[in-house]
Amino acid sequence: MPLLEISHLTHYFGGLRAVSDFNLSLEHGELIGLIGPNGAGKTTIFNLVTGAYKASEGSIKLEGQELVGRSPHEINSMGISRTFQTIRLWGQMTVLDNVRVAHYHSIRYGLMDVFLQLPRYQKQEREIEEHSRELLRLFKLEHYAYEPAMNLPYGVQRRVEILRAMGGRPKLLLLDEPAAGMNPNEIGELMDFIHWIRDEFDLTIWLIEHQMRLVMNICERIKVLDFGETIAEGVPEEIQNNPRVIEAYLGEQGEVA
Amino acid sequence: MLSAIRNRFSRLVAPLRERLQGTPLLVYQLGILGAVVIEQWVGKDFARTLAFRKIPKLFGIVDIFEPFSNLDFSGILGPFFPSPSMTVSNPVSQSAGAIGDLIQTFVNALFYQGRRDPGFFSVLIRVVVYDLVIYVLPTLIIVLLLRGVITRFLRTLPRWANIGIHLVLFYLIIVGWGGDGGTRELVLIFMGINIMLSVSLNLVNGYMGEFSVGHAGFMAVGAYVSSVITMVLFADTRVFGPPLLPPEWGLPFGFIIALIAGGIAAAIAGLLVAFPSFRTRGDYLAIVTLAVNFIVQGVINNLEVVGGPRGLNGVPLWTNLNWTLLFTLISLGLIYNLVNSTFGKGIIAVREDEIAAELMGVNTRRVKLVAFLVSSFIAGMAGGLFAHQLAYVNPGVFGILKSTEVLVMVYLGGMGSISGSVIAAVIFTILIEALRPLAVLKWVVVPLILILLMIYRPQGLFGFRELNLNLGMSRSASRKKIVTSEASDAITGD
Amino acid sequence: MDLNFLVQQFLNALQLGSLYALIALGYTMVYGVLLLINFAHGDIFMVGAFLGVFGSMVLNLPFVPTLLLSMVLTAILGVVIERVAYKPLRHASRLSAVITALGVGLLLENGMLALTGADPRNYPENFIVTETYDVAGFSISNVKILIIVLSILLFLGLYAIVQRTKWGMAMRAISYDKFAVPLMGVSQDQIISLTFILGTGLAAAAGILWGVAFPVLNPYMGLRVGWKAFIAAVVGGIGDIRGAFLGGLLLGFVEIFVVALGQPFGISSTWRDPIAFALLLIILVVRPTGLFGVARRQKV
């Protein structure tokens, strides 16, 4: 069974069709890219998958379970986590607390356990704390643990956002333009980093990106979107030579690669 | 000029400050306890020596304002806005005359007002002397003497003993200083109630970042429900007749149950705000809370069973210092544990970015529901204590003004800070008590402070930070501290 | 229930509603421009009413000059409040400004009480002489007609200013884009001042008309009325002046007809407030952004 199966996904904003008949089958462990000019509907698809928007038509299945109609936190608890195009950390909270809250769906204690600090509460909080610190250590961010997220440099915030997404132990990670605002050096590091988290956490990764260098280098499969429609799909070499893709990008960037 | 004074003062106390650096809280507690004992012992005599009739009220803060109690400002603009019964020929000269009189009264109040009513400066000097001799010097001496011993002693204590000894001393100080059954006790009780109100509102307004302006409504529900329960079950009243249960069951069990029932009823009323909050945010939700406050008040006004607008008379006078302390500490504990749990951090995440919170797995509806329920539950218990303190409640008390008072405390203390709310409630209660002689002017001073605060220190005294208490624990004892509170401690160091 | 009774109630509702509407306009305009809930607005309404006492009792002016005087003086007060209390906070968090507004409101009402005394005031008897006309069998009081007509005229005047003039357009534009307005040749400060002049002027007019209709004035009169008008503005969809006017009228109708229609069922007039607020609450729950409010989609 594929990890994620999207069929005939369509979404309207008022009368405007933002996504039309989008299909995708994602196998466990894949690393795929979604590209397309600005306004092509890429982020909308992420929003549909994570439940921020409710799909107008079509179905999204995670390991056979329908996601359309579920609330975002439910979808998150089923194993999909994401980052955002513009950073959306909880700025006043410390990095550690940002990661801790991402464990929310694993909480099994009740309000009384909190108030009375019962063993059940203590045990789960300890587990959450340990897992959070473990992640901080793996991401080499432990010295930022008590720093409010908004005080961090931009590049670190980007990494913390990925770190936070890992807090919920996702099966599928959606990265929305992870390289936005980075210089070529940083992009190089980011590529290694993405590979590393996929292997380390046994993840499936689906990313949106404008930086062709990153997409072409690390994605095993790429889908190209224009005006809400899929115009191409394939391995990086195929995409680079696809005339429709070049045409779609000509207006914007002039060249692909 | 002000800063020059401040500089000089800070240079003066700098050596003292240096010596006191890192002194654990317990040492101060012992010092204050010593001062309290000294006051019990020689306070009255010393006050007489200073020509006070009684021990100065609230460290003399009340006495200082007393000379101004007969200032009447209403003549200043009154002639320009005459009531029908007033004859006005020349408002300007009438007003000038009133201002002249006012200045005269004011000057008299400053210096001398006759044998029985000393002027402001006389009171001020004697109050300062009293406070220095009775409170400040003994505290300082004890602190300097015991500093080393206590610091070492504390390191040997396990965590539970450390906290226990702090609590015991705190209790002794409160009861020793304020358990007089008079003004002090009353002020402390209102302080406790105000702490409950401001901390609980801070959960919604500070931690969750909503803007609730109707907290008094929940207080009203708690006050009425708990009063009706205690009156029907345990008291012989004109409204409800003879008690249904033996009155001696009322304390302690009946009272506890009534207060908790009041809290639960208030929490149910809180649903009126919680459900709309799922769809509505910000300004619109503020209106919902406002409307709920009006609705609660309006409904009580129309309930003849509980006296309608005339109010409810004959509520048992059960609230005392101990009950207030108990419920205040319970409320603080509830909120502290909540906001330091991962679940509670979800509340803060909702404030910071609700959409991101929902997408990262936080069940935002549940989080909001809990925040509103806990907040209104505590407000309801505070209302119950309030009613059983005054023995009389009427719906007019629980209006927008009361809600505004609580808002003032929350923003004075700072959003998202429990210690800020506590300190603000303490300051506010004392301020209100101190300004009581000034009558209506009190409510001119309070908003002025609020406005200046917002312009010059909009984050309040402790916005998003906590006061760090030095409990003097050894490293190994504080390690045992539940992991979660460390994170918050770490960001709070100023 | 006879027809005359219904007509009377209809007029009462229009009268009360148009007064709420005039106050609600000020709330909504300030919100539209500054995104600030000006909680002091109800107390500005009170000051307007009190300045009417000054005009009529001390200066012995007739109705229209008193009205104009009060509107001008109150408008000046409004601008002063904005400059002194709100302007320093324009770049601070919105909440600080709202809390400051609460403080200004308290300051106005308690300052007025402290400086002028607690006796209730009213306007002189010859201020507006109440007459009752007989129109097609219905008795209609001149006071009600005056209030209704004047309110509607003031609203139409405001609407014309906001829709037709350069200033009005800038006012509407500023809530969308602060930076575009200076490009139109008017400064942000000017627009904000104008907003306060118009809003507080209308509140002053409402204050005087209120004093004519319900002749007991005291420093706290603005508290309840102000909060109610605020709720009306929100129900209309805060930021939209048509919404504010309709919201005010709606509140007036709900309040009057809850009493009028409830009486036969044993609902006493004291249920007016809770029922009115409950209805408004339901409207807000069904339409969270009010009748005219535009939901601004939150971007993900």
Q: Which residues contact A253 (CB under 8 A, 6 or more apart)?
A: none
Provide the pLDDT for residue B489. 40
Judge if B149 and B187 occupy the same domain.
no
C51 has pLDDT over 80: yes
Residues B443-452 pLDDT 10s: 888 888 888 8
Q: In this structure, are residues C65 and C176 in contact, taking their beta carbons and an 8 Å threshold?
A: no
Q: Which structure tokens are listed for C61?
A: 């002016």
Judge if B337 and B200 occupy the same domain.
yes
pLDDT category of residue B484 using cuts at 50, 70 and 90: very low
Inter-chain touch B360–A122, beta carbons under 8 Å: no
**Of C119, C227, C274, Cβ closest to residue B85:** C119
Chain B CB contacts of A77 under 8 Å are 361
pLDDT category of residue B480 using cuts at 50, 70 and 90: very low
Comparing B281-295, C70-84, C181-195, the range with the smallest average pLDDT is C181-195
What is the residue-averaged pLDDT of chain A? 90
pLDDT category of residue B108 using cuts at 50, 70 and 90: confident
Residue C189 lies in a domain: yes
Q: Which residue of B has its CA nearest to C38?
A: B283
Comparing B108-117, B152-161, B246-255, B316-325, the range with the smallest average pLDDT is B108-117
Q: Which residue of B has its CA nearest to A96?
A: B487
C282: how many CB neighbours lie within 10 A of its CB? Answer: 11
Provide the pLDDT for residue B141. 92
Residue C167 lies in a domain: yes
Chain C CB contacts of A54 under 8 Å are none
Inter-chain touch B447–C268, beta carbons under 8 Å: no
Q: What angle do CA C132, C137, C139 make, to 5 degrees?
A: 20
Q: Which structure tokens are listed for C194?
A: 């104008």
A88: how many CB neighbours lie within 10 A of its CB? Answer: 21
DSSP letters spanning C178-225: TTTGGGGT--HHHHHHHHHHHHHHHHHHHHHHHHHHS--B-TTHHHHH
Q: Which structure tokens are listed for B7?
A: 């500089």
pLDDT category of residue A254 using cuts at 50, 70 and 90: very low
Structural domain boundaries enclosing B148:
14-156
Inter-chain touch B360–A100, beta carbons under 8 Å: no
Alpha-carbon distance A54 to nearest alpha carbon in chain C (angstroms):
13
Residue B101 lies in a domain: yes
Q: What is the mean pLDDT of residues A58-80?
A: 94
Residues C117-147 pLDDT 10s: 888 898 988 888 888 888 777 888 889 999 9
Q: What is the mean pLDDT of residues B202-222?
A: 94
Residue B228 lies in a domain: yes
Q: Which residue of B has its CA nearest to A97?
A: B345
Chain A CB contacts of C300 under 8 Å are 43, 47, 52-53, 84
d(CA B244, CA A15): 66
Inter-chain touch B361–A126, beta carbons under 8 Å: no
A63 has pLDDT over 50: yes
Q: Chain centroid to CA A101: how far?
A: 17
Provide the pLDDT for residue B401. 84
**Of B348, B362, B483, Cβ closest to residue A93:** B348
Q: What is the mean pLDDT of residues C160-187?
A: 77
Between the CA of residue A216 and those of A208, B258, B273, C160, what are the distances in Å? 12, 69, 51, 59
Query: CATH number, domain at B447?
Result: 1.10.3470
Residue B167 lies in a domain: no
End-to-end CA distance of chain A: 33
Q: What is the mean pLDDT of residues C150-174?
A: 88
Provide the pLDDT for residue B485. 40
Chains adjacent to C (≥3 CB pairs closer than 8 angstroms): A, B
Provide the pLDDT for residue C299. 55
Judge if B235 and B93 occupy the same domain.
no
Residue C77 lies in a domain: yes
Whole-number percent of chain B with pLDDT over 90: 48
Judge if B268 and B344 occupy the same domain.
yes
Sign for the pseudo-dihedral over CA of A48, A69, B273, B225 = negative
Between the CA of residue B43 and those of A65, B178, C32, C139, what are the distances in Å? 76, 14, 60, 75
Provide the pLDDT for residue C296. 52
Provide the pLDDT for residue A198. 92
Judge if B114 and B194 occupy the same domain.
no
Judge if B150 and B224 occupy the same domain.
no
B486 has pLDDT over 50: no
Chains A, B: CB pairs < 8 Å: 117
Q: Which residue of B has its CA nearest to A165?
A: B360
Residue B320 lies in a domain: yes
Of the spans A132-146, A220-234, B113-127, which averages the highest pLDDT?
A132-146
d(CA B197, CA C269): 32
Q: Which among B285, B365, B372, B290 is positioned nearest to C290, based on CA atoms?
A: B285
C8 has pLDDT over 50: yes
pTM (predicted TM-score): 0.90
Residues B121-172 pLDDT 10s: 989 999 999 999 999 999 999 999 998 888 888 888 888 898 899 999 999 9
Inter-chain touch A51–B370, beta carbons under 8 Å: no
Query: In total, how many domains does chain C have?
Result: 1
Residue B250 lies in a domain: yes
**Of A51, A71, A96, Cβ closest to residue B487:** A96
What radius of gyration, in Å, describes the C-alpha atoms of chain B?
25
**Which has more confidence, C282 or A169?**
A169
pLDDT category of residue C183 using cuts at 50, 70 and 90: low
Provide the pLDDT for residue C71. 96
Sign for the pseudo-dihedral over CA of B326, B434, B180, B141 = positive
pLDDT category of residue B490 using cuts at 50, 70 and 90: very low
Provide the pLDDT for residue B476. 56
d(CA C81, CA C279): 33
Residue C251 lies in a domain: no
Q: Chain centroid to CA B250: how far?
A: 27
A256 has pLDDT over 60: no
Q: Which residues contact C176 (CB under 8 A, 6 or more apart)?
A: none
Query: In total, how many domains does chain B have?
Result: 2
DSSP letters spanning A149-171: GGGS-HHHHHHHHHHHHHHT--S
Residue-wise over B275-295: b if at least 16 C-beta within 10 A, else e? bbbeebbebbbbbbbbbbbbb
- The verdict on ipTM greater than 0.85 is yes
Structural domain boundaries enclosing C189:
3-220
B483 has pLDDT over 50: no
Chain C CB contacts of B287 under 8 Å are 230-231, 234, 284
Chain B CB contacts of C107 under 8 Å are 444, 447-448, 451
**Which has more confidence, C92 or C157?**
C157
At B392 the three-state DSSP class reads: strand
Chain A interface residues facing chain C, Cβ-Cβ under 8 Å?
A: 43, 47, 52-53, 84
CB of A132 within 8 Å of a chain B CB? The answer is no
CB of C4 within 8 Å of a chain B CB? The answer is no
Q: What angle do CA B277, C237, B210 make, to 5 degrees?
A: 30
C117: how many CB neighbours lie within 10 A of its CB? Answer: 22
d(CA C262, CA C264): 6
Q: What is the mean pLDDT of residues A178-191?
A: 89
